[in-house]
Chains A and B, each alone.
Chain A
């Protein structure tokens, strides 16, 4: 048991490597996975007039090397990759590598600017905590971190670009073009970073050394600097993950602002079935993410030095901010009422005489470009978005419960899922299976089960190691009894709660895929798709964009406040439990029996002296 625990806690190097190879192979095999016939796509792209005769298609298949089996396809792609040859675009017939490199240059510039925005914002969030010495960045930072960047990009475009006319909103022709995309990309990341640091700071500022330093007359600035130095290293891996998240966000932001970066290239290639270009750009995005992660690990090692080896520096537990349950309940009721009202109306009724009407009694949220009722589309869209999210959630939960019994699988997969933003998974799935609700759900499910499985695995291990399970075997209980009466109930309840908390996040991921055109297809009402459709006439009918934007913001708020409220509750339960043995007969807190060996102090413990 001990060995098993030790193994799973240690680095999952080989599993991680295998998972990486699997993802690479999946990218390499995209042409083979692709359900639709790419030859047709290529033919259309190259010459619109030519008849799609079987001979012409066969010639193109031969040309693309699609006739060969998957292994030779993979081999050819991998050897080309090693020589720096990413192939030629199916659509334009040009080399892939130059387009990837130019896209990468643009994206790196954008990400650098976004990173600067993120760091500035994080400093602004952290500064008050450092100055006051207590408190947290609280709900505001959490909200910023939860706002999906495609929503932020659309709102920024609407407010700064269109209404105020301050900044250019599309293209890539100078520093002014950089501002809005960098803000849209940097703000959620900055909210996340700021929140991580600000939440960890109060506990660190309560540590003994701070008092000691202050007593010795050390200035506030030096204490603050030392506290930051203390907080940062353990958080650096999280910063790496935030950087990985940026690669996914870049797709949406570059698309909204028409920035010719690598993310937009990947999305365009996925939509036009230009698989070599897609392979190249997805590979570049993955490489960006991996480099960011490696950089984070390097920085952490530099910051910590020998302390890393001794595993001596762990942060005290962050004190999460708490929300009263009233806030998530209000948000949920507000969303519920809007959705319920909308569900009573017809989302498909087209009325060309009532195009782009402002809100009125007949259309409480106005109408869209085809004269359809926005409220009705919002309500039915919730059914699509949240319904799909619930299905994805249930699927991930089942997978997590099944795979939770194989901790090493769960851990390796969870590493890769962390390195793969949902948008990139969505692009890959859409390229293989074509865009659609099912493909988007599959993509989100692929990356949403591993964290749940990791949670389940940890719980299974904990339960299996407990004495009361041994006691079950001793009364002659069958393995089935133990599994169904003891292991599953202990694991299923917390993991289900975890899955429910992830529901709004999953819905947002689905909406972002819908927004990018990788999910539900028109005329299906889906929140991301609604937002995307309304962008076309946002100057004339901002309310049509506002409705789905507000709904998505409410959902983000629900994601944050719901988990904060639950966390507050479980913490309270936990502390009630920790104080439990002090009832009537004054015995000591529970003293779990350590595994045999290395228990030299036990004789003293039995005497009852040290703890009494």
Chain B
């Protein structure tokens, strides 16, 4: 019905590892500007779903439509210009940033890769760091010189640099200390209000889901179950 309005439309998604079916005919949609929580215990196939939605691992079956375009049939080369519109934020705040690059360069990299780096680049990076609540002076540091919360903020800044419409948040706060967690969740909520971002929010903490998501679906053993 609402296929023309859905930002992300996943149908009958199947991911198999050899004989093991990790994701078994999963369907859901995410509308522009809304948060859909994908909730479930560990090993239920959430992360495989994320990888398949982001086309980091091609699904065995099913369709992933993003902004009205079918992604599963595109080649890697055709996919590349579309990738910036859909950005992941990973669980491990340190692992998602290259340990060899300064925060500034990590945030600038999407601009460089996507050919949008120009004289205004440094100012844009500073503005992005400021936007996620990091003092731009932190740009000179390396990931291991930041705390987990600061690192996760830098990761979000890097994702924003691609000017996405959908953020795929793969347990973005589960590796963080409870006191830091609220700050990052509030930041995500603010960003959604300001930029009209849609979130696919992977989580296994019901309390966080209730607080944060507009809608929630529950996943068990690779299938969606009634919440």
Contact = CB atoms under 8 A, between A and B. Distances in A.
A65 B40 CA distance: 75
Contacts of B148: 581, 585, 587-588, 590
Given A590-B94, A591-B175, A603-B41, A478 B205 contact: no
Interface in A477-533: 477-478, 481, 486, 489-490
A476 B175 contact: no
A476 B96 contact: no
Given A475-B83, A476-B84, A599-B42, A585 B180 contact: yes
B56 A592 contact: no
Given A590-B175, A591-B175, A593-B92, A602 B56 contact: no
A477 B110 CA distance: 8
Contacts of B179: 585-586
B4 interface: no
A472 B162 CA distance: 12
B96 A577 contact: no
A489 B176 CA distance: 29
Contacts of A580: 144-145
A587 B95 contact: no
Contacts of B47: 593, 596
B88 interface: yes
B45 to A, nearest CB: 7
A174 interface: no
- Which of B56, B94, B146, B158 is the most central at the interface, judged by chain A CB atoms within 10 Å of its CB? B94
Contact of A596 (B43, B84, B86, B176): B43
Nearest to A465: B95
- Which of B42, B96, B113 is the most central at the interface, judged by chain A CB atoms within 10 Å of its CB? B42
Contacts of A466: 95
B94 A603 contact: no
Given A468-B97, A478-B80, A596-B43, A588 B113 contact: no
A50 B41 CA distance: 89
Contacts of B97: 468, 471
Given A475-B83, A584-B147, A599 B43 contact: yes
Given A471-B88, A596-B43, A477 B147 contact: no
Interface string B170-193: 010011111110000000000000
Contacts of A353: none
A570 interface: no
A599 B43 CA distance: 7
Given A468-B95, A481-B113, A608 B145 contact: no
A221 interface: no
Contact of B95 (A467, A472, A473, A598): A467
Contact of B177 (A471, A476, A608): A608
A603 B54 contact: no
A608 B174 CA distance: 9
A585 to B, nearest CB: 5
Contact of A474 (B54, B150, B205): B54
B149 A587 contact: yes
A489 B204 CA distance: 36
Given A593-B171, A603-B204, A476 B147 contact: no
A476 B76 CA distance: 9
A597 interface: yes
Interface residues of A, number: 40
Interface in B62-102: 80-84, 86-88, 90-100
Contacts of B95: 466-468, 590, 592-593
A587 B180 contact: yes
Interface in A571-612: 577, 580-581, 583-588, 590-593, 596-600, 602-603, 605-606, 608, 612
A105 interface: no
A470 interface: yes
A606 B43 CA distance: 15
B165 to A, nearest CB: 14
A53 B22 CA distance: 78
B205 A590 contact: no
B114 to A, nearest CB: 6
B35 interface: no
Interface residues of B, number: 52
B100 A587 contact: no
Nearest to A594: B42
Given A475-B109, A476-B81, A585 B149 contact: yes
Contacts of B56: 470, 473-474
Contacts of B45: 596
Contact of A606 (B84, B98, B147, B204): B204
Contacts of B145: 580, 583
A20 to B, nearest CB: 33
A597 B82 CA distance: 30
A606 B178 CA distance: 9
Contact of A585 (B87, B91, B150): B150
Contacts of B114: 475-476
A473 B144 CA distance: 22
- Which of B48, B81, B148 is the most central at the interface, judged by chain A CB atoms within 10 Å of its CB? B148
A471 B113 contact: no
A475 B110 contact: yes
Contacts of A486: 98, 100
Given A466-B95, A468-B95, A581-B148, A587 B177 contact: yes
A577 B144 contact: yes
Contacts of B99: 468
A174 to B, nearest CB: 63
Given A474-B83, A475-B113, A593-B91, A588 B100 contact: no
B138 to A, nearest CB: 11
B88 A474 contact: yes
B59 to A, nearest CB: 15
Nearest to A579: B144
A475 B87 contact: yes
A597 B165 CA distance: 30
A578 to B, nearest CB: 9
A2 B150 CA distance: 30
B147 to A, nearest CB: 5
B82 to A, nearest CB: 8
A481 B47 CA distance: 26
B187 to A, nearest CB: 14
Interface in B193-216: 204-205
B146 A583 contact: yes
B143 to A, nearest CB: 9
22 contacts: A468-B95, A471-B155, A475-B83, A476-B84, A476-B110, A486-B98, A489-B100, A581-B147, A583-B145, A583-B150, A585-B150, A585-B179, A587-B148, A587-B149, A587-B176, A588-B175, A590-B94, A592-B92, A596-B42, A597-B43, A602-B204, A603-B204
Given A585-B148, A585-B149, A612-B177, 7 more contacts: A471-B158, A472-B109, A474-B88, A486-B98, A486-B100, A583-B146, A585-B147
